[in-house]
Amino acid sequence: MTTVTALIRTLDDLRGRRVVVFGLARSGGAAARMLADGGAEVTIYDRRPAAALADEITGLGDRAIHLALGVTEDEARALIVRGDLLVTSPSISPDFPTTDPWLRAALREAIERGVELVSEVELFLRLTRARVLAVTGTKGKTTTTALIGEILAESGISHLVGGNIGRPLIEEVGLLGPGDWAVLELSELQLPTISRGADIAVYTNIGADHLDRHANEAAYRAVKARLGELSARRGLVVLNADDPGCRELGARLPAASIAWYGLGAVDLQLAARVSDGWLMVHGERVLPVAEVPLPGRHLLSDALAAALASELAGASTSAIAAGIRQFRGVHHRLETLGEWGGVRWVNDSQATIPVAAIAALEAFLPASVVLIAGGQDKGLDYASFAEAAASRCRAVVLIGETADQLERLIGGRVAIERVASMSDAVRRAAALALPGDVVLLSPAAASFDMFTDYAARGDAFRAAALAINDASSPAETNS
């Protein structure tokens, strides 16, 4: 059977469409509401039962949306056969081995019939009239996206911030006009289905991650490159000259489409750089590096990316400086919880890969670190991270599935303790730390072996750290 349907290009194209939305999480719920309001016949499929989705169901209001929650595989297949537009959550793809085999097969069959399969982000990109500033990268994209939003707000530039940063913009697609900016954080989960680029596409770096979903590092990098390849056709691509992955992408793009930034590169013409202790954009001093309120070289690089992207979007130098000065970072990303007894407590739960955790260790030189690390393995190489932990840490407290591997790689070069819970990890870290030290949660691994996500892991660390330091003076905390 062949299904031929008109491509979705405008809001009017939604009327009468039989749409199956996969997943009743944040993006799925937002897409379902918008589609139903636009006149589509909407069904939501989620393998979780209704009892586990009470809040999400309430969020749909009184819209005429059919719920297929906790249904059998055969029932779900029948829904897919009937649909003429499939809207997937980021983690569902016919190309990801982490998607159930039967669902991968059903999605491929639908595509072969001519049914469109899109993500919520792709739907937004098709329908929005706004200019798009998109940020991606293996690490640093959330901080960079949030900082761009702060700078644009300081500049008085009309914009909305969303995407992978936690706020789906699909329901607000009609609120943005040609003079507005949609600032989107995009992960590799959201990039495979996009069909258009951005007016300004920003890369923080391109490393290796999520090898549980991609066949190899080359496949992951190819997905990441999609945003730049599409954006270079009519927009600008902002690339990190210090990052090998960005350089490799830049070599394949038209030179006129690239704006480079960097902290150390000297062989490229940099639109944004650090010189004589100043953050510079297009030859103008923005603010002294000492006034950037973010720890570590990698976060300084993110600030440089945000400054350049914001300037390209119309922000003034003074607004860029003000936005950076008042920015206090993002939860779970080198987030200082407080300082008690001379020991600084830092939550970097979002460091889910080794390179991010290594950058976190380097951010606190020359202080000694008591590190809490470990979690679910994503098929990455931990040797370099083990070397950094052995050379930088006073002690390492290990949790989660990767604890055995990390203990073996570190090899007794630094004190190691094994614990079974986050509360135990915090107690041992507190006992091991000395005044002047940093207790750092930077796991270098995913969280799903013990927690629902990295935010839940960071929240558990925060709660345990605040509880164990409860007797400290409130004036010492920065929570």
* Last residue of one domain, picked from the residues 91, 119, 147: 119
Same domain, 165 and 112: no
Q: What pLDDT shows up at residue 215?
A: 53
Same domain, 379 and 431: yes
Q: In whole angstroms, what is the distance from residue 474 CA to residue 236 CA?
A: 47
Give the residue with greater pLDDT, 97 vs 341: 341
Same domain, 426 and 450: yes
Q: In whole angstroms, what is the distance from residue 253 CA to residue 233 CA?
A: 9
Same domain, 451 and 367: yes
Structure tokens at 150: 């702060």
> Is 3 inside any structural domain?
no
The residue-averaged pLDDT of 130-149 equals 93
Q: Which of 393, 344, 348, 397 is CA-nearest to residue 374? A: 397
11 pLDDT band (50/70/90 cuts)?
Answer: confident
> In three state form, how does the secondary structure of 365-406 look?
CCCCEEEEECCECCCCCCHHHHHHHHHHEEEEEECCCCHHHH
Structure tokens at 16: 């009468």
The residue-averaged pLDDT of 63-86 equals 94
Secondary structure element (H or E) that encloses residue 180, with its range: none
90 pLDDT band (50/70/90 cuts)?
Answer: confident
What percent of the chain stands above pLDDT 90?
68
Q: In whole angstroms, what is the distance from residue 249 CA to residue 380 CA?
A: 22
The residue-averaged pLDDT of 234-256 equals 95
We report the CATH number of the domain holding residue 133 as 3.40.1190.10
C-alpha distances in Å from residue 431, one per residue of 426, 428, 440, 465: 9, 5, 14, 12
336 pLDDT band (50/70/90 cuts)?
Answer: confident
Same domain, 238 and 358: no
DSSP readout, 259-290?
EEEESS--SS-EEEEEETTEEEETTEEEEEGG
Q: What pLDDT shows up at residue 85?
A: 93
> Is 362 inside any structural domain?
yes
Q: In whole angstroms, what is the distance from residue 175 CA to residue 292 CA?
A: 33
* Last residue of one domain, picked from the residues 68, 100, 119: 119
Output the average pLDDT for the chain.
Answer: 90
The residue-averaged pLDDT of 108-126 equals 91
DSSP-assigned letter for residue 475: G
- Tell me: pLDDT of 353 over 90: no
> Is 5 inside any structural domain?
no
Lowest mean pLDDT, pick from 5-14, 311-320, 395-404? 5-14
Whether the ω angle into residue 474 lies within 30 degrees of 0, i.e. cis, is no
Helix (H, G, I), strand (E, B) or coil at 121: helix
Q: What pLDDT shows up at residue 479?
A: 32
Secondary structure element (H or E) that encloses residue 207, with its range: none
The contacts of residue 457 (CB under 8 Å, 6+ apart) are 349, 375, 422, 441, 443, 447, 450, 451
> Is 320 inside any structural domain?
yes
Helix (H, G, I), strand (E, B) or coil at 49: coil
> Is 414 inside any structural domain?
yes
Same domain, 65 and 93: yes
72 pLDDT band (50/70/90 cuts)?
Answer: very high
Same domain, 322 and 372: no
For the chain, report the end-to-end CA distance as a whole number of angstroms: 59
pLDDT tens column, 23-59: 998 889 999 999 999 999 999 999 999 999 999 999 9
Which range, 110-124, 178-192, 353-367, 413-427, has the best average confidence (pLDDT)? 413-427
> Is 292 inside any structural domain?
yes
Give residue 27's region: left, alpha or beta (phi > 0; psi -120 to 50). alpha
DSSP-assigned letter for residue 446: B
Q: In whole angstroms, what is the distance from residue 273 CA to residue 7 CA?
A: 43
Cα–Cα–Cα angle for 355, 25, 214, rounded to 5 degrees: 40
The residue-averaged pLDDT of 417-433 equals 96
Q: Count H helices and E strands in the chain, helices first.
A: 15, 20
Same domain, 65 and 98: yes
C-alpha distances in Å from residue 397, one per residue of 80, 131, 438, 443, 459: 47, 46, 13, 10, 18
User: Edge-to-edge, what's the strand order for the sheet holding 85-88?
Assistant: 66-69, 41-46, 18-22, 85-88, 116-119
| Half-sphere exposure (Cβ direction) of 344: Cα atoms closer than 13 Å | 15
- Tell me: pLDDT of 464 over 90: yes
Q: What pLDDT shows up at residue 475?
A: 36
The contacts of residue 22 (CB under 8 Å, 6+ apart) are 28, 45, 46, 86, 87, 88, 89, 92
Q: Which of 376, 299, 364 is CA-nearest to residue 142? A: 299
The residue-averaged pLDDT of 175-202 equals 90
Largest CA-CA distance found in the chain, in angstroms, rounded = 71
What percent of the chain stands above pLDDT 70?
95
> Is 479 inside any structural domain?
no
The type of residue at 207 is: G
* Last residue of one domain, picked from the residues 326, 344, 376: 326
pLDDT tens column, 214-237: 456 777 778 889 999 999 999 999
Tell me the torsion sign for CA atoms 402, 404, 405, 408.
positive
We report the CATH number of the domain holding residue 360 as 3.90.190.20
C-alpha distances in Å from residue 198, one per residue of 69, 74, 185, 191, 231: 35, 39, 11, 12, 5
The residue-averaged pLDDT of 321-331 equals 89
251 pLDDT band (50/70/90 cuts)?
Answer: very high
Same domain, 97 and 114: yes
Lowest mean pLDDT, pick from 92-96, 372-376, 461-465? 92-96
> Is 6 inside any structural domain?
no
209 pLDDT band (50/70/90 cuts)?
Answer: low
Secondary structure element (H or E) that encloses residue 19, with its range: strand 18-22
- Residue 83's domain comprises 14-119
Whether the CB-CB separation of 355 and 378 falls below 8 Å is answered with: no
Count: domains in the chain = 3
Q: In whole angstroms, what is the distance from residue 266 CA to residue 292 CA?
A: 22
We report the CATH number of the domain holding residue 73 as 3.40.50.720
Same domain, 274 and 382: no
Same domain, 156 and 279: yes
H-only helix segments in 291-446:
297-312, 317-326, 354-363, 383-392, 403-410, 422-432
Same domain, 218 and 289: yes
